[in-house]
Chains A and B, each alone.
Chain A
């Protein structure tokens, strides 16, 4: 079934630990995105990638890094987690065509203690 998968579904993490959130899509979309969603703040873009091998910073990139080694995978890494990174993280992808709607993964609920 085509779509986007994210792992893990949820995670509780001690502050200072390293964590990688995984995202894989099988729609052969060029572009991929990472958002965080916090109550009252809506979806905010963390990092994006317009094509394999390239990445860019979004609105809230500090404390996060990404890589795009191939078309399908776009992992998000928290090098040293802090409590303010407690959030729901959504990965999305799009084909960057005329309409370019984004398709979202199911999300990862991360709690940093």
Chain B
């Protein structure tokens, strides 16, 4: 089975850095995804990790440790528009394209 855990809520101020953690337990692992979802909208793809290490893309970075079943999403220079839900999702090795999602972390950025 799949078990994905992330904090329910986080808050931060504009210009700050925030780290959203995700831990997972899976029967097989074939990639970890982070999605961003603004209220009332569809999820949109942010990042993908399949090997250990850090992937950087502009203000957003994502880290993976497969041995620890752990990932984080790092958001730098926070802006008000970064207020959204951030979803961690894992792809199992034997489940082809299927993703298993965590419950999401609601990030609120204050001015």
Taking Cβ atoms with an 8 Å cutoff, the residues of A that contact B are: 31, 33, 35, 40-45, 48, 50, 58, 90, 94, 96, 99-107
7 nearest CB pairs, A to B: A42-B103, A104-B42, A43-B101, A101-B45, A31-B97, A96-B97, A42-B101
Smallest beta-carbon distance A52→chain B, Å: 14
A35 to B43, CA, bound (A): 11
In contact, A96 and B42 (Cβ under 8 angstroms) = no
Interface flag for B99 (CB, 8 Å) = yes
For B43, the chain A residues whose CB sits under 8 A away are 43, 90, 104
A96 to B95, CA, bound (A): 11
A103 to B101, CA, bound (A): 14
Q: A41-B103, A106-B41 are in contact. Are A101 and B33 (CB under 8 A)?
A: yes
For A107, the chain B residues whose CB sits under 8 A away are 41-42
Q: A42-B87, A42-B103 are in contact. Are A100 and B44 (CB under 8 A)?
A: no
For A35, the chain B residues whose CB sits under 8 A away are 101
In contact, B98 and A58 (Cβ under 8 angstroms) = yes
CB nearest neighbor in B for A44: B101
A35 to B42, CA, bound (A): 11
| Given A90-B43, A100-B91; 17 other pairs, CB 8 A cutoff | A33-B97, A42-B102, A42-B104, A43-B43, A43-B89, A43-B101, A45-B98, A45-B99, A48-B98, A50-B96, A101-B33, A102-B97, A104-B42, A105-B42, A106-B41, A106-B42, A107-B42
